[in-house]
Chains A and B, each alone.
Chain A
């Protein structure tokens, strides 16, 4: 059985930093997912990609949420635990407002 949670963070490039530069600033090296969060939520990272798209920089994280421990903790709502996970961290590191898409759970 597989299940994933997808997190999407977007920055509209409006200044000196280009979408390519912003994508590099907001990537997994500069703004990593806290390992403790992964442990506590019982999920693992399937993919974590930052890329420029038009005038935007987009970071897309796919988490493996198929573990029994995860479903045991969150039997009814598998999305809200991830809301806002990296929004402030990216915004403060990059110094730019971040548009967060609501986490999407796909069982």
Chain B
């Protein structure tokens, strides 16, 4: 019996893969296999973070559709992964014409970490009915990994957005979405669409670190038929020029900065939320465990 069940299981994993401008120009020129996709989705530069004393550039948190999959006749959510990357784009020289950009990043491993002026990333696995008449191509601002209201592939989704005029082509489409100057999320902002799936509809901790296979186990959660299963993230962006700076006592005898993320920020003060990502693993079998 068990063998029969195993044979009928279909296991799938979907994950975030997004457009990263840092990859531009890499590879042999003209190579058709070269693309600009990397694990995770880049977070725009414009700060949403605020300590209350100033107005952030962007008021709403960025709403990312990290990954999604059609539910069909129902499926089991068996595992999750979360990815948070901190970092900055370092100019490696003073002359912009000849200075390449270095991606100076660190993967977040501390569950308790957050930027001083930001909420922790909010995660949510939701069952969503895909909008019927909308597709991202209808909005001129939609570009790689940046989609209006909905995307079948991983993307930052938006309701409204604005960009510097110099980053738009004559049709009004930006070359990449990282330089946006204004943003609002679909649904009014600050909330996930759809209905919660199990206990994972909304949580704020790094329960399932991308790089730690020992912490990915979970009791499988049944997802009832219909719609799409979407892993969302609501992400604040930090403002390095206004956020609090960690104070380290001079007499501190131990490595003074505690979490590696804070040590990194102390060394490279322009660090912001660089990218975010997630994956889901699902199994196609009936609610009672039998094959579909």
> Which A residues have a C-beta under 8 Å from some C-beta of B?
11-22, 25, 30, 52, 54-55, 83, 87, 92-102
Tell which of A11, A14, A19, A93 touches B89, judged by Cβ atoms closer than 8 Å. A14
Distance between Cα atoms of A94 and B97 in the complex (Å): 17
The answer on a CB contact under 8 Å between B101 and A16 is yes
The answer on a CB contact under 8 Å between A95 and B34 is yes
The answer on a CB contact under 8 Å between A18 and B22 is no
The answer on a CB contact under 8 Å between B98 and A94 is no
Tell which of A18, A95, A99 touches B29, judged by Cβ atoms closer than 8 Å. A95
Distance between Cα atoms of A17 and B31 in the complex (Å): 16
Tell which of A15, A22, A25, A30 touches B21, judged by Cβ atoms closer than 8 Å. A15
Interface size on B, residues (CB 8 A): 31
Distance between Cα atoms of A52 and B23 in the complex (Å): 19
Residues in chain B near residue A97, CB distance under 8 A? 21, 24, 36, 143-144, 175-176
The answer on a CB contact under 8 Å between A17 and B100 is yes
- What would 17 A/B residue contacts be, using CB atoms closer than 8 Å? A11-B24, A12-B176, A13-B96, A14-B178, A15-B21, A15-B24, A15-B25, A15-B100, A22-B25, A25-B25, A52-B97, A94-B25, A95-B29, A95-B36, A96-B25, A97-B36, A97-B143
Distance of A18 from chain B, by nearest CB (Å): 5
Tell which of A20, A87, A92, A101 touches B30, judged by Cβ atoms closer than 8 Å. A92
Distance between Cα atoms of A20 and B95 in the complex (Å): 11
Distance of A28 from chain B, by nearest CB (Å): 14
Distance of B178 from chain A, by nearest CB (Å): 8
The answer on a CB contact under 8 Å between B167 and A12 is yes
Distance between Cα atoms of A54 and B91 in the complex (Å): 13
Q: Does B26 contact A (CB under 8 A)?
A: yes
List the A residue with the shortest CB-CB distance to B21: A14
Q: Does B27 contact A (CB under 8 A)?
A: yes
Contact with A along B16-60 (1 / 0, CB 8 A): 000001111111011110111000000000000000000000000
The answer on a CB contact under 8 Å between B29 and A94 is yes
Residues in chain B near residue A16, CB distance under 8 A? 22, 25-26, 100-101
Distance between Cα atoms of A18 and B101 in the complex (Å): 8
Tell which of B27, B97, B166 touches A95, judged by Cβ atoms closer than 8 Å. B27
List the A residue with the shortest CB-CB distance to B24: A96
The answer on a CB contact under 8 Å between B98 and A18 is yes
Q: Please judge, given known A-B contacts A18-B100, A95-B34, whether A25 and B24 are in contact too, CB under 8 Å.
A: no
